[in-house]
Structure 1
Amino acid sequence: MAAALGALSLCGATSTSYALSTAQPGISTGFITAALPPVGLYNIVDVNWGARGPYNGDPEVDLGVAVPVHLLWVAPYELLNGRLFLVDENIWAQIGVGHGFGATAANLRGLGLTKLGVGLSWDLGAGFHFALEESVFVPINTEVSPCDYWEFSQKLMLGYTANNWLLNAELVYGAGQNGPMQNVAPANAAFGQPATAGAAWANLNLTALRQFGKWEVGAVGFGSTDLSSPYAGYARQSQFALGGAVGYDFDKVKIVAKVTRDVYQSNEGGYDTRYWGEVVFALWKPEATSAVSAKY
């Protein structure tokens, strides 16, 4: 998201350099992240696309995001009575900036993020779950990367899974980093200049689903805001979006589809409408291994 808005500087439509949350706001909505699946190794494939603007003379920015490798390992171990889990997330992005069909001023693509995380999840009873995660974003300097510095992030998750309701609230914080103004735009990487600064940020991801057999239907919402100004004159950004979600569990594979739209934005360059598709499947489960062993 930061790269999408930083790319505006390529076509001279704005004199302000922008940054935003390193973690894409809303990407975890539609899931109960506070409650873990059974012990095993899972991959969560996410593809989403959206268009922001045009707004107040700024160009339209189209951002496509693909997460082909988002590994979640739910370990067979507990620590402090909480279930241990590990995360490896890799994000590819494509950004188009233009003033209408056939008038593209920039088209950027590449690896945007790599995140490594470790966390614990507790079953509190009566359908309630709580989890926390400590993550680090690995430095990447591409034309679409939001940062080329090590950035630490913390996540708190609270969920409810009972009486056919699936509710989840997730608060994410990123530390950011101060630096010189001339290097803050992620799109500067296209010119060999590192994106050495970014604001501290916070995301809020909300999910409320109702189960109907294997179906899940409900609403999602998410917001993001900058918490600091990494250099003098920085224009802080914030947004909030609402939408709907529908999911279906095929037992071995789960599919979730979402549509969201900004209802509020400040210094974002316009309102974003986004379409999401996500697939979750198990790469390995210990019970499957046991079954094979018993056969022989």
Structure 2
Amino acid sequence: MFLPMKRKVLAGAFAAFAAIVGINTEAAAGGMSAPGYTSGLPIYAILPKGMYYLNQTQSNERSVAGDDIRTNSNIFFFYYQSDMEIAGGAVSYVLAPTLFDYTSTGGYHALGMYNTYLASQIDWEIADGLYFGARLGGYVPQDGELAYDYGAIEPRFGFTYMKDGWLGLANFIFGFPAGGTAGDMAPNYFLADFSITKAFGKWTIGPVAHTSTDLDTPYPGYEKQSQFAVGGLIGYDLGGATLQTKLTTDLTEENYGGKETALWTNLILKLW
């Protein structure tokens, strides 16, 4: 198994944690997208035309072999709802660069940019308040200590229900790493995010859940990783912007070395 020199320091416990936070090793499971990222969001709803911005922070902690691994990420997510239609479906576009920070009690620390995500999407309203959508996108190969030198193609599809203060989401993501010096040694993966929230005046609350699993073994001796996490969301309408906080924890995990706790914040606003 080949690891570039700049990534050898991230092996061992780091490899076990890589799936959730998007750190580089061939043993990274769970994909280049963070499981749980889309829960609580109206991913497949058809929004009024315009540019929307989501600033998401994510803080994770997992203890692996006595080493506390902590990560923080800041995702700058731009979503453009166009007035274009294809086959009766509304077309939108996504751009999402990410700033990433990694610290372990073993003494390693790094700060840098993660791979940038690009995608296009089409959505249909199939019933009153119920939307079906499909997205094709992925991550571009990128240099840097905390970026993969390969990319990934990620087809996604799912459902959003948004009516009478209810917001439901089921989002299914497949990932196929490609390119770079180690892309063929990263596993194909599957992720799924779920949430049901209800608004009460300016407040929103509800449960969230996510799961991830490797779909194959890219080299002999590789052990597939998987996890299932649950948690809750609370949000508040600030007037022109929405602030959400999510807390999730693993109920089960396989081959990560330890269960993860994650704290998320979403700040959502329409730019124009």
The TM tier, using the shorter chain, reads 0.7 to 0.9
1:60 partnered with 2:61: no
**1:249 paired residue number:** 237
Amino acid across the alignment from 1:201? Y
Alignment of structure 1 residues 1-296 onto 2, 5 Å: 10=10, 18-20=27-29, 21-54=31-64, 57-67=65-75, 69-98=76-105, 104-145=106-147, 147-177=148-178, 197-284=185-272
Instruction: Please tell me whether the aligned partners of residues 237 and 266 of structure 1 are also in contact (alpha carbons under 8 angstroms).
Output: yes
State how far apart, in whole Å, the 1-side matches of 2:15 and 2:197 are. 42
The letter for the 1-side match of 2:28 is: A
Q: Does the 8 Å contact 2:156/2:171 carry over to 1?
A: yes
Q: Which amino acid aligns with 1:198?
A: A
Provide the C-alpha distance between the structure 1 equivalents of 2:71 and 2:121, rounded to a whole number of angstroms.
29
Q: TM-score if structure 2 supplies the norm length?
A: 0.87
Cα offset for 1:249?
2.1
2:44 & 2:171 partners in 1: Cα distance?
8
CA contact (8 A) 1:10 1:105 kept: no
Q: CA deviation at 1:224?
A: 0.6
Give the drift of 1:198: 1.2
Distance between the aligned counterparts of 2:45 and 2:202, measured in 1? Answer: 18
Q: Which amino acid aligns with 1:60?
A: D
**1:160/1:12 CA distance change after superposition, 3 Å:** closer
Q: TM-score, normalised by structure 1?
A: 0.80
Measured after TM superposition, the shift of residue 164 of structure 1 is 3.1
Counterpart of 2:45, as a letter, is A
Identify, as 1 or 2, the structure richer in strand.
2
Task: Assess if the C-alpha contact under 8 Å between 2:161 and 2:169 holds in 1.
Answer: yes
Offset at residue 125 of structure 1 (A): 2.2
CA contact (8 A) 1:45 1:278 kept: yes
Q: 1:116 to 1:15 in 2, by over 3 A?
A: closer
TM-aligned CA deviation for residue 42 of structure 1: 0.9
Structure-2 residue corresponding to 1:293:
none
The 1:121/1:157 distance shift into structure 2, 3 A limit, reads: same
Deviation at 1:63, TM superposition (A): 1.2
Q: Given residue 134 of structure 1, which amino acid in structure 2 is its aligned partner?
A: L
Percent of residue pairs identical: 26
In the TM superposition, residue 15 of structure 1 has moved relative to its aligned partner by 9.2
Q: Does the CA contact (< 8 Å) of 1:92 and 1:113 recur in 2?
A: no
Structure 1, unpaired ranges of 5+: 1-5, 99-103, 185-194, 285-296
The answer on whether the counterparts of 1:177 and 1:200 sit within 8 Å (CA) in structure 2 is no
Unaligned runs of 5+ in 2: 1-5, 17-25
Q: Retained in 1: the 8 A contact 2:60–2:261?
A: yes
Query: What is the match of residue 21 of structure 2?
Result: none
Label 1:105 to 1:121 Cα distance change in 2 as closer, same or farther (>3 A): same
Moved segments of 4+, more than 3 Å: 6-17
Cα RMSD after superposing both structures: 2.3
Report the residue type matching 2:255 in the other structure: N
Counterparts in 2 of 1:14 and 1:136: CA distance versus 1, 3 Å: closer
Q: Which structure has the larger Rg over C-alpha atoms?
A: 1
Q: CA deviation at 1:8?
A: 8.7
Q: Say whether the 8 Å CA contact 2:197–2:204 is kept in structure 1.
A: yes
1:196 Cα deviation from its structure 2 partner: 6.3
1:13–1:125 CA distance, 2 compared to 1 (3 A): closer
Q: Distance in 1 between matches of 2:120 and 2:15?
A: 39
CA contact (8 A) 1:221 1:241 kept: yes
The corresponding residue for 2:22 is none
How many residue pairs are counted as aligned between the two chains? 257
Distance 1:8 1:253, change over 3 A: farther
C-alpha distance in 2 between matches for 1:211 and 1:204 = 23
Contact 2:151 2:178 in 1 (8 A): no
Report deviation, 1:255: 0.9
Equivalent position of 2:19 in the other structure: none
